[in-house]
C-alpha cells in the first residue's frame, strides 16, 4: 500500500512541479505582491510631485503659519479674491485657499478653489496647519503663552508586558495582530487554492477515464491519498520557494531601501510635529475632520517610535513557533479539506456541476475568514477559543491566535481534533470517492452522496 | 444454469456472485470457470452486467455475495499484479509523455522502473513506434492511442488479461495487429477474457464463452459445444447431375432445394453426419460436398437473449 501511494504521490508531484505554469505562478505571485506593496512606496519616494498653494488670507492670522514641506509650498497673498481666482493657475498654483475674516472662537467659511478635487493628503496638511494657528491664537486670546501649544503635543506609548510564571516578556499586540491576520489569511487562500487543485485533479482523471485503469492496480483510497499528499508536497515546495525568495528579497532590497525609508519617515515627522494639540475640544466648529486628523497626525509624528516599538514587539514573538504551527495547521487543514474536495471532484462530471456541491465544503473556510478580524481583536474571547477547537475552522482561527500565547492545552486539543477530523473526513470522502469515480452522467445530489457513503 | 464446465487447469473460478445497486440486481448468482491459457469470451447485450462482473474480477468493486478463486487460491490484493485490464472506455493521461506514462502504469503493477523501460522499448519496436516515447497522448489518433492502451494492459506480462471490446474503433490493419497479439499472448500461456458483442470476433478467436443477460448466465461452454447444443440437424449437400427429389423416400428428413446443385436436409431426430451421408449414398445421390450446418454465434446470441 505504501509503495503504491508513494508511486502515485511521486507522479502527482513531479508532473505538477515539472509544469511551466507552476513555476510561472510560483515566481510571479511574490513578484506581484512585492509590486503591489512597494511600487506605490517607490513612486512616492522617488517622484517629486510638489504642489504650490496660494493662500488668500483676509483674516491676517495666517501670514506665517504655513510651513513648506517636500510636497507642499505655500504663498500668502491678501489681494482681491476674484482677481486671484482668475490668475492663480497661470501663476503656477494648483489651488487657492480662501480664508475670510474669521471669528477665532468660531472659525468658518474657508474655501479651497482648484481645477481638480482637493486630495486627502493636501487637505489634511492644510487643515492641520490652520488648526495649529487657531490654537495659538486662542491661547493668545486667553492671554496664555502661544508656545504652550508645543507642550500640548502629547503622545503616550503603552508598552505591553506579558506576565507569566517564568517571568515577564515583551507583549506583541500590534505585530501579533498583523502576523495572526496574515497567517490566517494565507491559510485561507491555500486551503481554497489547493482544495480546488485536488478537485480538478480528481475530475481530470475521471474524465480522461484513466481512473479505471488506475484502480484496477491500486485501491481508490490509495489513489486519493497519493494525489492529496502529492499536491500537499507541491504546496510545501511553493512555500519553500517563497520563503527562500523572501529571505533573498529582505536581504537585498531591505538593505537598499532602509536608509531611504528612514529618511522618509523622519521627514514626514518633521512636517507634522508640534501640531498635535488638536485633541482639545474647543474646535467644535470644524470638528468634522477632528478625529480623523488627530489619529493621522499622531501616527505620522510617531512613525519612528512606532517602528521601534514594533521591532521590540516582534522580539516578543516566537517566530519558529509561528512557522511550525503554520505548517501543522496548513497540513491539518489541507488534509481535512482535501479529501472532501477529492470526494466532490469524484462525484461530478464537469467543473460547472461542482459549484453547488462544493459550496458547503467551502462555507466553513469562508466563515473562518470572516471571523478572522474579530478573533485577532480579541484572541482569547469565547468565539476565538471555540472556533480554534472546531477542526473546520481551527486551521485559520488557531493560527491567527498563535502570536498571542495560546495555552498549550488548547493547542493540544485543537491539533488532536484537527488531525482526528482529517481521519474522519477522509473515511467518509473515500467512500464517496470510491463510488464517484466510476459514476458518469448523472449529477449527484447530497442525498446521493449519503447513499454512497452507506453503500 | 448451475452446471458449468470444469477445466483441468482453472485460472478463475467464480462462484455464486451477486451484486445489486440499491434495488437493482446487476448480477445474480453467477458461476463459471475460465480454463488456464484459454481465450474466453464474455458475451452479453449492453447492460447485461459484463462491466460489473469485470470490475469485481479486477477488484475495483466488491461483490455482495459469492467468491472468486484465482489461480488456485481465494483472490488476494496481490492478484491485481497478475491481471491486465483494458476497459471499454479507454483512458490515459492526455498530457503525460507516453513513455513515462507506461512506466508509471507498469510500476503500479509491480514492475521496477528499469524492467518497465526495457519492456516498453520492446513493444515500441514491435509496433514500430519507437519515436513515440516523448509524445503526448493527445497528439495521437484514437487508433494509435489504443495501441498504447494495449501495451499498458499487457506490459507486465499478466497471467490473466481482460480486454473489454479491444478491437472497437480500430481500422482493419490495426485490428489485425492487435488480434495477432492476443493470439500470441494466449499461445504463450496467458488467459484472455474477451468481452464483446461482436460475435464474428468471438467465433474467430474464442475457445469458450459465457453469455450473460440481465445479470444471469444464460449460456456457457466451449464454442463447439455451444454450437452443437444449438444445432438443428441441418445438413447441406452439393451434388452433380440431376436428382428426382419426389422419387426418393426421405424417411425422417425434410428437404429444401437451395439451387440447382445444392439442397439442405433437416432431420427430425438428431443424426450423426455419417448416417446422413450413408443415407444419401444409398439414395444414389452424387454428393460432391457435405457439411453439417451449425448456427452462428450471432444467431445463438439473439435466440438466447430474446
What pLDDT, in 10s, does the model give residues A308-353? 666 666 666 777 788 889 889 999 999 999 999 999 999 998 888 8
Is B120:B101 a contact under the CB 8 Å cutoff?
no
Whether B87 sits inside 8 A of A212 (CB atoms) is yes
So what's the pLDDT on residue A291? 39
Closest residue on chain B to A222 (Cα):
B108
Residues of A with Cβ-Cβ distance to B105 under 8 angstroms: 213-214, 217
Question: Looking up cell 440447382, which residue turns up?
Answer: B260
Rounded to an integer, what distance in angstroms lies between the CA atom of residue B98 and that of residue B118? 14
Q: What percent of chain B has pLDDT over 90?
A: 39
- The model's pTM is 0.75
Whether B94 sits inside 8 A of A208 (CB atoms) is yes
Helix (H) or strand (E) holding A211: helix A210-214
Residues of A with Cβ-Cβ distance to B89 under 8 angstroms: 209, 212
DSSP A301: H
Residue ranges in chain A whose pLDDT is less than 70: 45, 47-49, 160, 166-167, 169-173, 253-316
**Is residue B257 over pLDDT 60?**
yes
Query: What is the residue-wise DSSP string for B63-127?
Result: -SEEEEEETTEE--GGGGGGEEEE-SS----TTSBHHHHHHHHHHHTT--HHHHHHHHHHHHHHT
So what's the pLDDT on residue A254? 62
Cell reading at A356: 453547488
Half-sphere exposure of residue B82: CA atoms within 13 angstroms, side-chain side? 15
Mutation target for B interface from A216, A222, A436, A438: give the one with most B CBs within 10 A.
A216
Nearest by CB to B104, which of A7, A205, A219?
A: A7
Whether A216 sits inside 8 A of B83 (CB atoms) is yes
Is A335:A228 a contact under the CB 8 Å cutoff?
yes
Q: List the one residue out of B217, B283, B202 whose CA is nearest residue B250.
A: B283
Closest residue on chain A to B64 (Cα):
A455
Looking at per-residue confidence, does A288 or B297 come out higher? B297
3-class DSSP assignment, residue A72: strand
Whether A216 sits inside 8 A of B60 (CB atoms) is yes
Whether B108 sits inside 8 A of A217 (CB atoms) is yes
Whether B80 sits inside 8 A of A451 (CB atoms) is no
Is A185:A325 a contact under the CB 8 Å cutoff?
no
Mean pLDDT over residues B141-161, rounded?
A: 91
So what's the pLDDT on residue A307? 66
Whether A210 sits inside 8 A of B91 (CB atoms) is yes
Q: List the one residue out of B146, B37, B131 whose CA is nearest residue B91.
A: B146
Rounded to an integer, what distance in angstroms lies between the CA atom of residue A347 and that of residue A211? 13
Whether A438 sits inside 8 A of B83 (CB atoms) is no
Rounded to an integer, what distance in angstroms lies between the CA atom of residue B265 and that of residue A191? 78
Query: What's the topology of domain B231-305?
Result: Alpha-Beta Plaits (3.30.70)
Q: What angle do CA B146, B147, B153 make, to 5 degrees?
A: 85
DSSP A154: -
Helix (H) or strand (E) holding B164: strand B160-164
Region of poorest pLDDT, from A256-270, B45-59, B217-231, B248-262:
A256-270
Rounded to an integer, what distance in angstroms lies between the CA atom of residue B275 and that of residue B287? 14
Query: What's the topology of domain B10-228?
Result: Rossmann fold (3.40.50)
Backbone angles phi, psi at B129, to 5 degrees: -130, 35
Whether A213 sits inside 8 A of B152 (CB atoms) is yes
Closest residue on chain A to B57 (Cα):
A216
Q: What angle do CA A300, A302, A307 make, to 5 degrees?
A: 100
Nearest by CB to B92, which of A208, A216, A218?
A: A208
Whether A209 sits inside 8 A of B87 (CB atoms) is yes
Residues of B with Cβ-Cβ distance to A4 under 8 angstroms: 108
Whether A216 sits inside 8 A of B90 (CB atoms) is no
Residues of B with Cβ-Cβ distance to A7 under 8 angstroms: 104, 107-108
Give the closest-approach CA distance of A353 to chain B in angstroms.
22
Mutation target for A interface from B60, B77, B105, B193: give the one with most A CBs within 10 A.
B60
Residues of A with Cβ-Cβ distance to B92 under 8 angstroms: 208, 210, 213
Q: List the one residue out of B80, B53, B177, B283 whose CA is nearest residue A1.
A: B80
Q: List the one residue out of B151, B138, B159 whose CA is nearest residue B103.
A: B151
Q: What percent of chain B has pLDDT over 70?
A: 97
3-class DSSP assignment, residue A143: coil
Give the relative orientation of helices A319-347 and A220-272 as an angle to the nearest 10 degrees.
130
Whether A217 sits inside 8 A of B87 (CB atoms) is no
So what's the pLDDT on residue A292? 41
So what's the pLDDT on residue A280? 35
Half-sphere exposure of residue A35: CA atoms within 13 angstroms, side-chain side? 6
Rounded to an integer, what distance in angstroms lies between the CA atom of residue B119 and that of residue B125? 10
Q: Tell me the pairing of strands B65-70 and B10-21.
A: antiparallel
So what's the pLDDT on residue B255? 84
Residues of B with Cβ-Cβ distance to A15 under 8 angstroms: 93, 96
Residues of A with Cβ-Cβ distance to B108 under 8 angstroms: 4, 7-8, 214, 217-218
Mean of the per-residue pLDDT values for chain B?
Answer: 88
DSSP A61: S
Is A157:A147 a contact under the CB 8 Å cutoff?
no
- Residues of A near B (Cβ–Cβ under 8 Å) read 4, 7-8, 11, 15, 205, 208-219, 438, 451
Give the closest-approach CA distance of B86 to chain A in angstroms.
7
Nearest by CB to B89, which of A4, A212, A451?
A: A212
Give the relative orientation of helices B142-154 and B172-187 as an angle to the nearest 10 degrees.
10
Helix (H) or strand (E) holding A76: strand A72-77
Question: Looking up cell 486551503, which residue turns up?
Answer: A191
- Residues of B near A (Cβ–Cβ under 8 Å) read 22, 55, 58-61, 77, 80-81, 83, 85-87, 89-94, 96, 104-105, 107-109, 152
Whether B108 sits inside 8 A of A7 (CB atoms) is yes
Q: Where are the domains of chain B?
A: 10-228, 231-305
Cell reading at A160: 505591553
Tell me the CA distances in angstroms from A398 to A88, A287, A378, A389, B133, one per residue in order. Answer: 58, 41, 12, 8, 49
Mutation target for B interface from A210, A451, A453: give the one with most B CBs within 10 A.
A210
Give the closest-approach CA distance of B113 to chain A in angstroms.
11
Q: How many residue pairs bridge chain A and chain B with CB atoms within 8 Å of each other?
A: 54
Mutation target for B interface from A217, A221, A442, A455: give the one with most B CBs within 10 A.
A217
So what's the pLDDT on residue A288? 38
Mutation target for A interface from B59, B77, B82, B91: give the one with most A CBs within 10 A.
B91
Q: List the one residue out of A333, A330, A334 whose CA is nearest residue A194.
A: A334
So what's the pLDDT on residue A52? 86
So what's the pLDDT on residue B19? 92
Give the closest-approach CA distance of B208 to chain A in angstroms.
24
Give the closest-approach CA distance of A342 to chain B in angstroms.
18
What's the complex ipTM?
0.82
Helix (H) or strand (E) holding A205: helix A173-207
The count of other CB atoms within 10 Å of the CB of residue A348 is: 23
3-class DSSP assignment, residue A227: helix
Model confidence over B178-201: pLDDT tens digits? 889 999 999 998 999 999 888 888
Rounded to an integer, what distance in angstroms lies between the CA atom of residue A392 and that of residue A361? 9
So what's the pLDDT on residue B6? 56
So what's the pLDDT on residue A175? 77
So what's the pLDDT on residue A287? 37
3-class DSSP assignment, residue B238: strand
Whether A438 sits inside 8 A of B61 (CB atoms) is yes
Mean pLDDT over residues B84-112, rounded?
A: 91
Residues of B with Cβ-Cβ distance to A210 under 8 angstroms: 91-93
Rounded to an integer, what distance in angstroms lies between the CA atom of residue B192 and that of residue B189? 9
Question: Looking up cell 517629486, which residue turns up?
Answer: A48
Give Rg (Cα) of chain A. 30
Amino acid at each position: 500500500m505504501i509503495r503504491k501511494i508513494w508511486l502515485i504521490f511521486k507522479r502527482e508531484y513531479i508532473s505538477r512541479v515539472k509544469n511551466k505554469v507552476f513555476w510561472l505562478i510560483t515566481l510571479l505571485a511574490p513578484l506581484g505582491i512585492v509590486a503591489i506593496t512597494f511600487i506605490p512606496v517607490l513612486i512616492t519616494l522617488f517622484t517629486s510631485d510638489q504642489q504650490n498653494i496660494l493662500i488668500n488670507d483676509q483674516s491676517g492670522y495666517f501670514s506665517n503659519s504655513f510651513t513648506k514641506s517636500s510636497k507642499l509650498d505655500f504663498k500668502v497673498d491678501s489681494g482681491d479674491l476674484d482677481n486671484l481666482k482668475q490668475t492663480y493657475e497661470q501663476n503656477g498654483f494648483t489651488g487657492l485657499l480662501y480664508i475670510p475674516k474669521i471669528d477665532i472662537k468660531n472659525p468658518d467659511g474657508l474655501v479651497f478653489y482648484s481645477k481638480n478635487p482637493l486630495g486627502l493628503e493636501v487637505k489634511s496638511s492644510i487643515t492641520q496647519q490652520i488648526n495649529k494657528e487657531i490654537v495659538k491664537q486662542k491661547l493668545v486670546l486667553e492671554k496664555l503663552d502661544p508656545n504652550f501649544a508645543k507642550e500640548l503635543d502629547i503622545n503616550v506609548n503603552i508598552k505591553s508586558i506579558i506576565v507569566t510564571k517564568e517571568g515577564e516578556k515583551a507583549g506583541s499586540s500590534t505585530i501579533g495582530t498583523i502576523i495572526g491576520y496574515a497567517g490566517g489569511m494565507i491559510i485561507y487562500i491555500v486551503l481554497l487554492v489547493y482544495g480546488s487543485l485536488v478537485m480538478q485533479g480528481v475530475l481530470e482523471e475521471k474524465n480522461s477515464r484513466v481512473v479505471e485503469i488506475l484502480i484496477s492496480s491500486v485501491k481508490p483510497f490509495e489513489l486519493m491519498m497519493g494525489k492529496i499528499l502529492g499536491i500537499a508536497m507541491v504546496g510545501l515546495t511553493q512555500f519553500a520557494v517563497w520563503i527562500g525568495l523572501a529571505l533573498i528579497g529582505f536581504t537585498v532590497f531591505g538593505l537598499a531601501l532602509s536608509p531611504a525609508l528612514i529618511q522618509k519617515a523622519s521627514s514626514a515627522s518633521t512636517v507634522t510635529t508640534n501640531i498635535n494639540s488638536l485633541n482639545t475640544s474647543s474646535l467644535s466648529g470644524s470638528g468634522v475632520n477632528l478625529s480623523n486628523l488627530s489619529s493621522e497626525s499622531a501616527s505620522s509624528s510617531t512613525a519612528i517610535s512606532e517602528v521601534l516599538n514594533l521591532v521590540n514587539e516582534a522580539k516578543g514573538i516566537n517566530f519558529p513557533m509561528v512557522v511550525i504551527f503554520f505548517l501543522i495547521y496548513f497540513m491539518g487543514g489541507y488534509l481535512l479539506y482535501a479529501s472532501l474536495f477529492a470526494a466532490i471532484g469524484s462525484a461530478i462530471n464537469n467543473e460547472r456541476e461542482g459549484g453547488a456541491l462544493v459550496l458547503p465544503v467551502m462555507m466553513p473556510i469562508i466563515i473562518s475568514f470572516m471571523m478572522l478580524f474579530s478573533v485577532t481583536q480579541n484572541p482569547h474571547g469565547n468565539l476565538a477559543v471555540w472556533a480554534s477547537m472546531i477542526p473546520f475552522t481551527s486551521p485559520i482561527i488557531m493560527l491567527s491566535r498563535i502570536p498571542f500565547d495560546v495555552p498549550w492545552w488548547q493547542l493540544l486539543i485543537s491539533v488532536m481534533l484537527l488531525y482526528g477530523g482529517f481521519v474522519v473526513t477522509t473515511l467518509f470522502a473515500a467512500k464517496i470517492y470510491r463510488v464517484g469515480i466510476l459514476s458518469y452522467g448523472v449529477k449527484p445530489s447530497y442525498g446521493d452522496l449519503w447513499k454512497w457513503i452507506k453503500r | 444454469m448451475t452446471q458449468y464446465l470444469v477445466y483441468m487447469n482453472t485460472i478463475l473460478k467464480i462462484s455464486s456472485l451477486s451484486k445489486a445497486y440499491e434495488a437493482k440486481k446487476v448480477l445474480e448468482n453467477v458461476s463459471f470457470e475460465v480454463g488456464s491459457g484459454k481465450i474466453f469470451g464474455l458475451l452479453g447485450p449492453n447492460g447485461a452486467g459484463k462491466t460489473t462482473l469485470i470490475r469485481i474480477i479486477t477488484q475495483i468493486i466488491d461483490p455482495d455475495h459469492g467468491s472468486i478463486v484465482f489461480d488456485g487460491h481465494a483472490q488476494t490484493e496481490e492478484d491485481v499484479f497478475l491481471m491486465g485490464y483494458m476497459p471499454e472506455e479507454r483512458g490515459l493521461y492526455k498530457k503525460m509523455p507516453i513513455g513515462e506514462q507506461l512506466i508509471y502504469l507498469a510500476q503500479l503493477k509491480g514492475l521496477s522502473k528499469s524492467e518497465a523501460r526495457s519492456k516498453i522499448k520492446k513493444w515500441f519496436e514491435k509496433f514500430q513506434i519507437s519515436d513515440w516515447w516523448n509524445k503526448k497522448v493527445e497528439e495521437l489518433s484514437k487508433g494509435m492511442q489504443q495501441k498504447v492502451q494495449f501495451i499498458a494492459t499487457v506490459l507486465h506480462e499478466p497471467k490473466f488479461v481482460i480486454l473489454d471490446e479491444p478491437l472497437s474503433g480500430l481500422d482493419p490493419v490495426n485490428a489485425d495487429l492487435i488480434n495477432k497479439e492476443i493470439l500470441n499472448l494466449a499461445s504463450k500461456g496467458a488467459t484472455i477474457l474477451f468481452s464483446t458483442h461482436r460475435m464474428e470476433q468471438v467465433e474467430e478467436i474464442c475457445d469458450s464463452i459465457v453469455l450473460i443477460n440481465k445479470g444471469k448466465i444464460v449460456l456457457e461452454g466451449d464454442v463447439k459445444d455451444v454450437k452443437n447444443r444449438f444445432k438443428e440437424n441441418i445438413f447441406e449437400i452439393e451434388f452433380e447431375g440431376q436428382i428426382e427429389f419426389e422419387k426418393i423416400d426421405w424417411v425422417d428428413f425434410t428437404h429444401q432445394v437451395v439451387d440447382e446443385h445444392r439442397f439442405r436436409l433437416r432431420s427430425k431426430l438428431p443424426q450423426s453426419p455419417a448416417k446422413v451421408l450413408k443415407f444419401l449414398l444409398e439414395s444414389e445421390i452424387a454428393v460432391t460436398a457435405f457439411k453439417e450446418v451449425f448456427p452462428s454465434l450471432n444467431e445463438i446470441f439473439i435466440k438466447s437473449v430474446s
